[in-house]
Amino acid sequence: MKITIDQNSGYCFGVEFAIQMAEDEIGHANELYCLGDIVHNDMEVKRLHDKGLRVIDHEQLKDLHDCKVLIRAHGEPPETYATALKNNIELIDASCPVVLKLQNRVKHAFDKMEDKNGQVVIYGKKGHAEVIGLTGQTNNKAIIVTEEADLDKIDYSRPVSLFSQTTKSTQGFYTIKEKIESRFGDKSKVVEEEVFEAHDSICRQVSNREPRLKSFATEHDVVLFVSGKKSSNGKALYKVCKDQNERSYFIENSSEVNPDWFREDDSVGICGATSTPMWLMQDVAQSIAAFAKQPVSF
């Protein structure tokens, strides 16, 4: 049996940067607050909790004073910064640069749409931390769409500016874009009168993993995709693997590995989401090696 860990999997730049900032700050103090889970992976959240990172929500933030709070890679709406200023809270801002740039673009688009009596539409998961930060740039007026049924929320007699959550599927974004265009009717009129503009704001560090994972999944007999169940990115990338290789399995950690999934001469590929730490994928590899009845090479 041969086991290969996908070296292109694991943390994206934004998540890696946020975790490094958290660990550096904890090194100078016994405790640091973090607004929401720093990453959608329970194993990593627990590891950092043991080091002193305490997860809080927005309601708890309102009751804190004179302390330090980390903003994770997903970014935050303007209200969070206002609360911090009011309560003398020092923010350790680990917002991903890609997300910050998108927040700025959404804010400019919203101002433009307000002048035109238009609408900002965001393709994303309602309630997701990044989406909350983005809608905050629009005074929470942005329309969130996740699937085709949500397109009924849009008023097609008014202009639309479409953006995407950075971690959504590229294919999904362009499918939504085409469906919105079709609802406007005459495509030439849409272009001439500028009633619809679509901005592909998906992070390429995320989207570029899709074609790589397609190849990785076909190169192995069995694929174990390691990710937290709360990760939107994880769900999307796992589907890429499953579509290419029926023997693909979604697991959170090594305890979920089933020996019945494997045969003696299988080539096993281990990969993960942008929120999956490398140490967790290595732990999964070691667990397979432990129950295999023949030598395992990595």
State the Cα torsion 178-183-185-191 to the nearest 10°: -50
- Can you tell me the mean pLDDT for 59-65? 96
- Can you tell me the mean pLDDT for 13-31? 91
Is CATH 3.40.50.11270 correct for 13-96?
A: yes
- For the chain, residues classed under CATH 3.40.50.11270 are 13-96
Q: What is the pLDDT of residues 204-261, one digit of tens each?
A: 877 888 899 999 999 999 999 999 998 878 988 999 999 999 999 999 999 999 999 9
pLDDT of residue 89: 97
What are the residues whose beta carbons fall under 8 Å from the beta carbon of 66, sequence distance 6 or more? 87, 88, 89
What are the residues whose beta carbons fall under 8 Å from the beta carbon of 217, sequence distance 6 or more? 223, 240, 241, 244, 245, 248, 269, 271
Alpha carbons 170 and 168: distance in angstroms, whole number:
6
Q: Residue 63 gets which letter from DSSP?
A: T
Of the listed 130, 147, 181, 252, which one is catalytic?
130
Mean pLDDT, the chain, rounded, equals: 92
**CA separation (Å) from 132 to 70, 72, 76, 152, 262?**
17, 13, 7, 21, 41
CA angle 224, 284, 130 (to 5 degrees): 70
| 264 labelled catalytic | no
CA angle 153, 122, 94 (to 5 degrees): 145
The SS3 of residue 77 is coil
E-strand ranges in 80-237 read: 90-93, 119-123, 143-145, 160-164, 196-198, 222-226
- Can you tell me the mean pLDDT for 42-53? 94
- Can you tell me the mean pLDDT for 167-193? 83
Architecture of domain 2-9+206-291: 3-Layer(aba) Sandwich (3.40)
Least-confidence region, from 14-18, 25-29, 224-228: 25-29
Alpha carbons 109 and 98: distance in angstroms, whole number:
17
pLDDT of residue 74: 94
Structure tokens belonging to residue 27? 């090194």
Alpha helices by DSSP H, listed for 116-169, are 129-135
Check whether 188 has a pLDDT greater than 60: no
Check whether 190 has a pLDDT greater than 80: no
Check whether 192 has a pLDDT greater than 70: no
Rg (CA), the chain: 21
- Can you tell me the mean pLDDT for 15-30? 91
Alpha carbons 61 and 4: distance in angstroms, whole number:
43
Least-confidence region, from 104-118, 180-194, 197-211, 270-284: 180-194
Architecture of domain 98-165+168-201: 3-Layer(aba) Sandwich (3.40)
- For the chain, residues classed under CATH 3.40.1010.20 are 2-9+206-291, 98-165+168-201
Decide: 104 and 149 in contact? Cβ < 8 Å: no
pLDDT of residue 189: 63
Q: The sheet that has 248-251: what strands, in order across it?
A: 2-5, 267-272, 222-226, 248-251
Check whether 281 has a pLDDT greater than 80: yes
State the CB neighbour count (10 A cutoff) for residue 151: 16
Check whether 186 has a pLDDT greater than 80: no
pLDDT of residue 230: 84
Please give the residue that has the higher pLDDT: either 13 or 104: 104
